[in-house]
Amino acid sequence: MKFPLFPTQASSVAQQIDYLYWALVGVSAAMLLIIFLPMIFFLFKYRRGKQADRSPAHLPQTTLEVTWTVIPLLLMMGMFAWGANLYFTVERPPPGALEINVVGKQWMWKIQHPEGNREINELHVPVGRIIKLTLASQDVIHSLFLPNFRIKQDVVPGRYTTEWFTANRVGAFYLFCSEFCGTQHSGMRGRVVVMEPAAYEQWLINGQPGSTLVQSGERLYRELGCSGCHTGNSVVRAPPLEGVFGKPVPLQSGEVVVADEGYLRDSIIFPNKQIVGGYATNMPSFQGRVTEEEVFQLVAYIKALGKKSPPPPPGTR
């Protein structure tokens, strides 16, 4: 008979997470037994009226103190180091990831692939590739939970969060929202479909994506008038955006920030929050004028600006 306690492990970190989990359970259970078994034993041995030796015991106080301080300390520090190390692994996407954007909204997951493919409540990915999900919320806090990959990440309005995984098993796996987000929270679920790389490429092509994320971003960039200011020969002087992604940006406040996805998003939605040194504060906010999906497209375009070549079309990776 099958009695699965845990969902099937389907990612590179799933096994490591489970090892840690069982180790913590094991240590906790051992501590429980070490304390409770003697306690129960003494409960009977020294019961009132029982004949037992009650003369004061002479124990090596210092040795005892040091022993029961040092052993648990080492044990706890070991668990901390193990957990922290694994936490860093889970929180830091390795380089070279395939980047996919996810927008959570009441009550669905909207997914955009760089090739332009879009899907709702389904996420198709190739097996064996590092997948980095950049998460945004259109309304309230959601949380993207992929139990088979043992990862979960809050999706917070107003900022980007990320989670990553490398699926090591082909198949379909559950995808949940694990943050109560309104009446239909429980219906905010879907599946991750892990495919062989060739099947994934075929799926991308079959989806007839039309324009890539970068191309959609470029179109928006022109339609919204960004290009009117952010190009070299424009009348209004605004910071040039070619190659800005990933670079440090000196701000008027004297601070220096790195132009990551979150910075680019903030600059579109709250342009007056972080003014680039030497520039005026005359950019209008695009809050409410663009959806989170469109912000992703703009960010993808800005990231591609100044790069030698645009991302390759599907089928050539």
- Interface with ligand CUA, residue 244, by CB under 6 A: no
Q: Using CB under 6 A, count the residues that bind ligand CUA.
A: 9
Residue 190 makes contact with ligand CUA by CB under 6 A: no
Instruction: Look at residues 139, 138, 143 and name the one whose alpha carbon lies nearest to residue 155.
Output: 143
- Closer by beta carbon to ligand CUA, 14 or else 103: 103
Which helix (H) or strand (E) covers residue 124, if one does? strand 122-126
Q: Give one word for 121, left, alpha or beta, with left for phi > 0 and alpha for psi -120 to 50.
A: left
The residue within the footprint of ligand CUA, chosen from 14, 131, 151, 181 (CB under 6 A), is 181
- CB-based contacts of 135, cutoff 8 Å, min separation 6: 102, 103, 104, 144, 153, 155, 160, 161, 162, 163
Q: Residue 116 interacts with ligand CUA (CB under 6 A)?
A: no
Binding to ligand CUA by residue 110, rule CB under 6 A?
Answer: no
Q: Would you say how long the chain is, in residues?
A: 317
Query: CA torsion sign, 270 to 273 to 278 to 281?
Result: positive
175 touches ligand CUA by CB under 6 A = no
Pull the structure tokens for residue 287: 């809050």
Compute the radius of gyration of the chain from its Cα atoms.
27
CA-closest candidate to residue 220, choices 298, 303, 293 = 298
Whether 79 and 24 have beta carbons less than 8 Å apart is answered as yes
- When asked if residue 185 is in the footprint of ligand CUA (CB under 6 A), the reply is yes
Of 162, 173, 177, whose CA–CA distance to 127 is shortest? 173
Contact between 177 and ligand CUA (CB under 6 A)? yes
Asked whether position 102 contacts ligand CUA by CB under 6 A, the answer is no
> CB of residue 193 vs ligand CUA: minimum separation in angstroms?
20
Nearer to ligand CUA (CB atom), residue 46 or residue 180: 180
Stretch that binds ligand CUA, among 2-10, 128-136, 180-188, 207-215 (CB under 6 A): 180-188
Kindly identify the residues of this chain, within the stretch 135-154, that bind ligand CUA according to CB under 6 A. 142
Q: Give 144-178 as a DSSP string.
A: EEEGGGTEEEEE-BTS-EEEEEEB-S-EEEEEEE-
| Rounded least distance, CB 283 to ligand CUA, Å | 32
Q: Does 179 bind ligand CUA (CB under 6 A)?
A: yes
Among positions 14, 17, 101, 104, the unique one binding ligand CUA when judged by CB under 6 A: 104
**Cβ at position 277, least distance to ligand CUA in Å:** 39
List beta partners, residue 192. 123, 173
CB-wise, 87 or 180, nearer to ligand CUA? 180
State in angstroms the smallest separation of the CB of 293 from ligand CUA: 16
Binding site for ligand CUA (CB under 6 A): 104, 107, 142, 177, 179-181, 185, 188
